[in-house]
Structure 1
Amino acid sequence: TARVLHEGKLTEAFEIKTGVRQGCLLSPFLFLLAIDWIMRSTTARGRNGIQWTMMSQLEDLDFADDLALLSHNHQQMQEKTTKLETVSQQLGLTIHGEKTKIMRLNAGSRDPILLRGSPLKEVDTFTYLGSVINIQGGSDEDVSVRIQKARSAFAILKNIW
């Protein structure tokens, strides 16, 4: 049974008849199935990504709940962002606007990408799966961050040795 705290008061107890228990091994698997369906639905047209091979385009990068959408132009990115939000909402998921960023590389348009009517923040650098990506495309900043993380880890271990 469960109770809900609402306006400082607990509701009457009620029985939960559906769902997955907290900590259940099925939970991450079901989430990945949902994200996979969302991304397949969002990129179903398959023609709004970046050229990857002679015959295919790369539409997005995703690992768990970290997603990166890729497009050649503003219109495609706006369409993809809107579609992602619409499809996500069908499953009760919401894109966190403050955590969502835009990086433009050699872009002709400076028009903002909108999420629920609000412009997304543009950045020159962001971290994706622990790697620092910057507008120049180099790896110097990423290598520096990794070296600093290694130094910090060794400093913690210093007392053990």
Structure 2
Amino acid sequence: MTLSSSKFPGVELLPGGSLVDLEYADDIVLFGEDADKMQSLLTTISNNASMFGMRFSPSKCKMLLQDWVASTPELMIGSEVIERVDRFTYLGSLISPCGLVCDEISARIQKARLAFANLRHF
């Protein structure tokens, strides 16, 4: 799906370059700096998906806020509110609001410990 960057500006990565979304298979991450624009983006994507017989499951959608100074927005898909989380995993990588790598490293060390503990020694 191609999103118009003029209607949905996303977030600025470099001067003159913005990022609206990341898409991989059925995983989508949306970026935005304004709650109203994010709600509009969610509604547009949801409506476009429904034209093809698809729908988003609000229980599988999450909202992560980074450097958010305004009151916590209430984004919705249809009549259901999207859950706000402090971190989530996207394509196997831990995403947190601070954006530090230490959270990802700690998560991977924990996964390695669990995998090692489950090994059977002969």
- TM-score over 0.5 (shorter chain): yes
Displacement of 1:158:
5.2
Q: Is the contact between residue 87 and residue 94 of structure 2 (CA under 8 Å) also seen in structure 1?
A: yes
Q: For residue 114 of structure 2, what is the aligned residue in structure 1?
A: 152
Give me the whole-angstrom Cα distance separating, in 2, the residues matched to 1:143 and 1:158.
25
TM-score (norm 1): 0.67
Distance in 1 (alpha carbons) for counterparts of 2:107 and 2:18:
30
TM-score (norm 2): 0.87
2:109 is the alignment partner of 1:117: no
Distance in 1 between the 2:35 and 2:71 partners? 6
Q: Please, which of 132, 135, 138 is the counterpart of residue 94 of structure 2?
A: 132
Indicate if the aligned counterparts of 1:74 and 1:109 stay in contact, CA closer than 8 A: no
**1-side partners of 2:98 and 2:13: how far apart?**
20
| Aligned residue pairs, count | 120
SS at match of 1:98: helix
1:87 aligns with 2:48: yes
Deviation per CA, 1:42-80: give whole Å up to 9, x if none: x22444210122222100011111110000110110011
Deviation at 1:113, TM superposition (A): 0.5
Unaligned runs of at least 5 residues, structure 1? 1-38
Alpha-carbon distance between aligned partners in 2 of 1:111 and 1:152, rounded to the nearest angstrom? 36
Which runs of 5 or more residues in structure 2 are unaligned?
none
Of 123, 143, 156, which residue of structure 1 is paired with 2:105? 143
Report if aligned partners of 1:50, 1:70 keep a CA contact under 8 Å in 2: yes
- 1:157, CA displacement in angstroms? 4.0
| SS class of match (2:39) | helix
* Higher alpha-carbon deviation: 102-111 or 82-91: 102-111
- Per chain length, whose mean CA-contact separation is higher, i.e. which structure has more relative contact order (CA < 8 Å, sep 6+)? 2
